[in-house]
Structure 1
């Protein structure tokens, strides 16, 4: 049973970390937008945001159909 609880704890921690990283990415994107950063840099941050959103919804962003 303790193994199950440990796994749930790891999953919860992973999700919490992903939400934190997602919030940081959104914050960075907003700062870049205000400072007129190069479009390529903003596109990379946007990709990170989508990848983190897909992770939260349990979608593998690297899987090809």
Structure 2
């Protein structure tokens, strides 16, 4: 009857492994959410172009230096 403890441990280990695998699949398998177009957003590259040199985004506003 030594098989019962081994089988119990294997079943427990498989259960834990299965739940961790499911959690990882849920965490990494979801698609990234699209950017909300209504939310203000400052693009650093476009900010530099608008400023004609060096610009920095701060609080979603382009500041030229």
> What interval of TM-score do these two structures reach, taking the shorter chain for normalisation?
0.3 to 0.5
Structure with bigger helix share is: 1
Identify which of structures 1 and 2 has the higher relative contact order when contacts are C-alpha pairs closer than 8 Å and 6+ apart: 1
**Larger gyration radius, structure 1 or structure 2:** 2
TM-score norm. by structure 1 comes to: 0.46
TM-score norm. by structure 2 comes to: 0.46
